[in-house]
Amino acid sequence: MESEQVTPRFDADVAVIGLGAVGSSAAWRLATRGLDVLGFEQFEPGHALGGSTGATRLFRVACLEHPGLTPIARRARDLWRELEASSSQALFHETGGIMIGPPGSRIIEGTLRAADAHGLPIEQLDADEVARRFPAHARHNPGDVGVWDPEAGIVRPEAAIVAAVDAARAAGARIRTGTRVTAIEPGDAGVTVRTADAEFRVRHVAVTSGPWISRLVPDLPLTPHRVVMTWFRARDGRDANLEVLPVFIRSVPGHDTWIWGHGAMPGPDGFDAKVGPEFDGPFTPDDPDAIDREIHPDETDEIRDLVAATFPDLDPAPSGVTTCIMTHTPDGQFVVGPTAHPRVVVGGGCSGHSFKHASALGELVAQSVAGEQPFTDAAFLDPRRFAR
């Protein structure tokens, strides 16, 4: 008897699991390639329970974390601009950014390394020039220097995620919100994706579930960790808007640590000035389903001290506080690309600096699924580096 060839039937070319920062863009970039995309989000796009809440994220092109991030930031900016056009709203505000620290410190050296590698139009400033051009930063440690990145700014996370999901839908993606994926079962001929009440057969999966990635891809060294985010107002008669206080990462007078943040934006979609501490490991793992959302009385003591030491024009009592989840990798770089299983691609492990890049990380996820050459060398983000 002649053998009968069975053609597997698929419900979609690719399932994107988790439509937060990276997944919303991955779904969009996959759908624009003409692939049949099924997107799953356990909550609603733009929700406050993952890693992408808090109204703003810093954007920098001279990325102190790795010079390979510069082309990713620039590609991301182009894609944020595309989403601004498709959603008719401002998602990216270019403010420029000032990095301040001792010569040779990670802030200064890392920023200069990225600038050198890509011929970026940064400016190097001595302490007096920093104080003259940015009076809000007049307090500094003796010998500190500055680097101005004119391409820095802020991105609006919640609105950007909603815009990317809308763009994915417009390009044909089928989106299921309020639907948690409970398991993925990859095999040679495809992947089974299970939810509480259904199962789907797909050719590939992109797991972009942020703090929850390890639930579906357990062999990656990811550590979700609860953090607190804080906002501050200017003292009476003083100003702390984005012109006065553009994006910054800087040392703290009399302290051996950094802070990061930006000034306030007035208006209905506005926000107060944001200042946060350097998030320095080791990080204890937290269950993303059981994050303590309460703010405890002593939790803002450290940031109050750091703000008081640095910015005389800010009231160091926070005007707003919320919780968020960071997902750390051992080397502080993301995990974007194929896993040990060729049908499973991941995009996450965002280590506190990925939002700015998220639209381009979605593009890299889409390129990995589609078998295309990545638009830039992303080997330093390869999830398989930890198994080697």
**Hey, which residues does 345 pair with through a beta bridge?**
206, 338
Query: Shortest approach of ligand FAD to residue 125 CB, angstroms?
Result: 22
Options 137, 140, 204, 353; binder of ligand FAD; rule CB under 6 A: 353
Q: How far is the CB of 37 from ligand FAD (least distance, A)?
A: 14
Candidates 35, 137, 356, 366; binder of ligand FAD (CB under 6 A) is: 356
- Give the integer Cα–Cα distance in Å for 127 and 101: 9
Among 37, 147, 222, 227, binds ligand FAD (CB under 6 A): 227
Shortest Å, Cβ 297 to ligand FAD:
20
Beta carbons of 350 and 21 less than 8 angstroms apart: yes
Nearest in space to 115 (alpha carbons), one of 57, 156, 74, 56: 74
Q: Using CB under 6 A, which of 68, 97, 210, 337 touches ligand FAD?
A: 210
Sole binder of ligand FAD in the list 212, 248, 258, 311 (CB under 6 A): 212
Residue 232 as a binder of ligand FAD (CB under 6 A): the answer is no
Is 324 among the residues that bind ligand FAD (CB under 6 A)?
Answer: yes
Tell me if 83 contacts ligand FAD by CB under 6 A: no
38-70 in b/e form (b: 16+ CB < 10 A) is bbbbbbebbbebbbbbbbbbbbbbbbbbbbbbb
Closest to ligand FAD by CB, 47 or 238: 47
Contact 18, 26 (CB under 8 A): no
* Distances 266 to 157, 241, 272, 290 between C-alpha atoms, Å: 18, 8, 8, 34
Element (H, E) at 226: strand 223-232
- Cβ proximity to ligand FAD: between 41 and 363 the closer is 41
Q: Does 355 bind ligand FAD (CB under 6 A)?
A: yes
Q: What share of the chain is helix, strand, coil (3-state, %, to 5)?
A: 30, 30, 45
Q: Which stretch binds ligand FAD (CB under 6 A): 19-27, 141-149, 197-205, 237-245?
A: 19-27
Cβ pair 168, 175 in contact under 8 A: yes
Interface contacts to ligand FAD, rule CB under 6 A: 17-23, 40-43, 50-52, 57-58, 180-181, 208-212, 227, 229, 276, 324, 326, 348, 350, 352-356
